[in-house]
Structure 1
Amino acid sequence: MSLAATFILFSKKISQDKTLICQSMKKKEFMAIEQTNH
């Protein structure tokens, strides 16, 4: 496997992780808002 291919896979994984983190952060914020409303 070439270095370029490894780098591409690695950057793809990082972007996936970032989106997952963003999604979980938004979920936590949403849950907190829901709790304060009720």
Structure 2
Amino acid sequence: MLLALELFYIGLLGLASLGIGWVSVVVLYNLYRGQR
């Protein structure tokens, strides 16, 4: 039970970091493309 909860939280953390990284990459790409 506890292990499943830990895996769930680790999965949520991984998804959150992936989402933040994806958003930052998209924003940087848009800024870079807008400057050219």
Partner of 2:2: 4
Letter in 1 for 2:20: C
RMSD: 0.4
| Identity rate, percent | 8
Task: Could you tell me which runs of 5 or more consecutive residues in structure 2 were left unpaired when the two chains were aligned.
Answer: none
| TM-score, reference length from structure 2 | 0.94
| TM-score, reference length from structure 1 | 0.90
Task: Tell me the number of residue pairs that the alignment of Structure 1 and Structure 2 aligns.
Answer: 36
- Could you list the runs of 4 or more consecutive aligned residues of structure 1 that deviate by over 2 angstroms after TM superposition? none
Task: Could you tell me which runs of 5 or more consecutive residues in structure 1 were left unpaired when the two chains were aligned.
Answer: none
